[in-house]
Amino acid sequence: MAETVLMRNFDRANSHTLAVYRGAGGYAAWDRARTMEPGAITEAVKASNLRGLGGAGFPTGMKWSFIPKSHTGPVYLVVNADEGEPGTFKDRYLLERDPHALIEGMLIAARAIRSALGFVYIRGEYVQPGRRFSAAVKEAYDAGLLGSGFDLVVHRGAGAYICGEETGLLSSLEGKKGWPKIKPPFPAIKGAFGQPTIVNNVETLCCVPPIVERGAAWFAGLGTKTQGGTRMYSVSGRVKRPGVYEAPVSITLRQLIERAGGVSGTGRLKGVVPGGGSAAILRADEIDVAMDVDGLKAAGSMIGSAGVVVMDESVSIPEALLVLARFYAHESCGQCTPCRESTGWIYKMVHRIVDGHGRKDDLDTILDVARRGGGTTICAFYDGAIGPYISYIEKFRDEFEGLCRS
């Protein structure tokens, strides 16, 4: 069994409390980091090869280094706890079972970027995880960990997938509808409330205390050449033991499915979503792929948020695409015309095919519409939607054509 880093405390009774976290060595990394130069913390995170675990996979230390050195005003640290990518549930576990790991990661990150104020944006539906996390924040204030140089505000979202996009999240935090912002300027230059801001995912920041405590080289050595560490894979769908599994990022998709008990249902694999709903689907013969950022990119998909959804042979791929097409049509924020119009149109076309009224040339129309919109929008939402549209149809075209009338 591989080393557990992120889930190391999950099995302890009352792991969410300060006493238990401290008893397990918690906040020792912060004690060390508070004696380090801010720049040295960033250098350590760079050397660890930690890459963002929310979806984009951007190198975390490099992101931190983008805060302008000359800036003398406030800098904000914002945690993206707006988990919403279909098939992903790891951040919910961290918020509920190890909230102090996130607070400690924030304290260290805040020192690195010289931030005195942080926000944790938790999706509105996560009422219980939000309460759990807020209770931990109160404990940290009472213990003087927070409030002496760094303050933390827990902010509750209100139901919108697009707020998981970092600039959509910032718009929402500012009291607006969650419309993503045109980049540049990137948040590190001009983010929340017009000030330099670093937005990091929950799991990403939970990696930071172990990096400080056990060293960048150790963390880097857990992973691949271009991505350090372990990560938490959310595995669901047709597997015997759905759940969250921590593994080095070099694990293959085949190994991961085996860890989750293997394929359930018919027991024969048809396809797998490797990185959340927006990742291109992989066929059963494509699962000997390393589950890191670059491994899945090479396989024509993406690791995204590492939400793995397994489909056995009895699953209808057109129906699965219909579910996702409905999702994108519903969640498109409406700001950019190509996304707003295409997601709605494609949903209607997939619907017609699944209802048995489609034509084979509808499939080419979907592919054409999908490809034309790529790269034309303010944020990555539509580029994410294209992944499933194109891959489901290209890899399982026979199944779609079998439903068409002509």
CB distance 235 to 262 below 8 Å: no
Q: Minimum distance from CB of 114 to other proteins (Å)?
A: 16
Shorter beta-carbon distance to other proteins: residue 108 or 192: 192
Q: How far is the CB of 403 from other proteins (least distance, A)?
A: 17
What H or E segment, with its residue span, contains residue 285? none
In the complex, what is the shortest distance from the CB of residue 208 to other proteins, in angstroms, rounded to a whole number? Answer: 23
What does DSSP assign to residue 156?
A: E
CB of 311 to other proteins, least distance (A): 7
Smallest gap from Cβ 331 to other proteins, in A, equals 7
**Shortest Cβ distance from residue 292 to other proteins (Å)?**
22
Of 358, 374, 376, the residue nearest 321 (C-alpha): 358
d(CA 50, CA 33) in angstroms, rounded, equals 17
Give 29 or 393: the residue with its C-beta nearer to other proteins.
393
212 near 204, Cβ under 8 Å? no
Q: How far is the CB of 359 from other proteins (least distance, A)?
A: 25
Q: Shortest Cβ distance from residue 248 to other proteins (Å)?
A: 21
Residue with smaller CB distance to other proteins, 174 or 288? 174
Alpha-carbon distances of 286 from 153, 253, 270, 318, rounded to whole Å:
43, 9, 10, 19
CB of 281 to other proteins, least distance (A): 11
Give the interface with other proteins as residue ranges (CB under 8 A): 74, 76, 83-89, 91-92, 117, 123-128, 153, 155-161, 172-178, 192-193, 195, 234-238, 242-244, 273, 277, 307, 309, 311, 315, 319-320, 323-324, 327, 330-331, 333
Between 176 and 357, CB nearer to other proteins: 176
Which of 176/225 has CB closer to other proteins? Answer: 176
Q: In what order do the strands lie in the sheet with 269-273?
A: 243-248, 230-237, 307-312, 269-273, 282-283
Strands, E assignment, 56-148: 76-81, 117-122
Task: Characterize the bridge pairing of strands 307-312 and 269-273.
Answer: antiparallel
Residue 330 or 357 having the CB closest to other proteins: 330
CA distance 309 to 277: 8
Chain-centre distance for alpha carbon 139: 27
Q: How far is Cα 240 from Cα 264, in angstroms, rounded to an integer?
A: 5
User: Closest CB to other proteins among 55 and 237?
Assistant: 237
Rounded CA-CA distance 46/34 in Å is 18
Q: How many CB atoms lie within 10 A of CB 11?
A: 9
- Shortest Cβ 92–other proteins spacing (Å): 6
Instruction: Give the integer Cα–Cα distance in Å for 115 and 184.
Output: 21
Nearby residues of 375 by Cβ (< 8 Å), 6 or more positions away: 383
For 201, the 3-state DSSP assignment is strand
The residue among 175 and 184 lying less far from other proteins, judged by its C-beta, is 175
Residue 392 DSSP SS3:
helix
Q: Are strands 230-237 and 243-248 parallel, antiparallel or unpaired?
A: antiparallel
Q: How far apart are CA 345 and CA 332, in angstroms?
A: 12
| Minimum CB distance to other proteins smaller for 87 or for 387 | 87
Which residue, 126 or 400, is less far from other proteins as judged by CB? Answer: 126
